[in-house]
Amino acid sequence: MDGGKGDEAIHLIPVERIRIANPRSRNREMFAAMIDSIASVGLKRPITVRECGRDQDGPRYDLVCGQGRLEAVMALGEKTIPALIENTTEADAYLRGLIENMARRKHTNRDLLTAIRILEDRGYSSPEIGAKTGLDPSYISEILILLREGEERLIAAVERGWMPIYLASQIAHSDDSAMQHSLMDAYQDGTLKGPQLLKVRRLIERRKLIGKAYGHKFPGKDQPPSPRRLAQVYQEEVHRQQMLIRKADIGEQRLILLTSALRRLFADEHFRTLLRAEGLLDLPKPLADRLKGETP
């Protein structure tokens, strides 16, 4: 950024004269700890502001960085705060605050992607964004391509660690056949493990059925599904129903085995005496009914 440093002297500025131009939410526990620290040992580092105008009471300021420190000082009832005043433009001050927030350890994927998009819209190249954010320029380039194409689901999978960025790019630009080959290659070389592969397959199906971005509705009257898509959905539902039937059969077999074993145990007088001695006199009603023969 081209915004130059102003006077390096620290000034005491009235907190009521400072505007937080780019506010962000804050973890309550961390904020409480910051208040406690400032109350105990004082403010260790001044905030940074830029002058944004004047009125009859004097200069007004926009906060550049130090929102947590400012809010903590205000919560303690202080009327002034130590600050450095920078000579910088509003746009550069906004970008500096944005980059500072991105550099923090805890941020959401949506915050990160929004920041990358804003930096690109303001004319920064992938290497420049990478230098400011600490992210690899090639990663930034791939993310920007996916962002331009609206691939929110694929980006989310990359950010959650389900798939590498190169695979997301391949899926975004491949037909069904090439996509399946990419998945098989990723599975064979160990890039995708078993559970990851299942997640990615489900994501691809939802992407085909619902759309690239979140919040899209199932095709309705304006966009009727094709016969091929209807047949595919029908086959998927049949497969899902078959899996449910198999799981139900397995559960029934296990329940029969458990019931048979309990009947043998309850037929043993020593086992019944042990249960009475331990005070174990109750059974779940569905299981008790099975043991009595009331439920097949």
pLDDT digits (tens, 9 = 90+) for 95-145: 666 666 555 544 555 566 667 777 777 777 888 877 766 677 887 888 888
pLDDT for 3 equals 46
pLDDT digits (tens, 9 = 90+) for 57-99: 889 998 888 888 898 889 888 999 999 888 877 767 666 666 6
What is the model's pTM?
0.37
pLDDT digits (tens, 9 = 90+) for 206-262: 877 777 766 544 444 445 666 666 777 777 777 778 877 888 888 788 878 888 888
Angle, in degrees to the nearest 10, between helices 152-159 and 137-148: 150
What is the rounded distance in angstroms from the CA atom of residue 146 to the CA atom of residue 156?
Answer: 11
Which tokens hold the place of 7?
Answer: 């006077």
SS3 201: helix
pLDDT for 18 equals 92
CA 174 to chain centre: 26
Statement: residue 12 has pLDDT above 60: yes
- Top mean-pLDDT range of 41-55, 122-136, 177-191, 214-228: 41-55
Which tokens hold the place of 263?
Answer: 């009947």
pLDDT for 15 equals 92
DSSP 87: B
Statement: residue 294 has pLDDT above 60: no
Buried b (16+ CB within 10 A) or exposed e, 2-17: ebeeeeeeeeebebeb
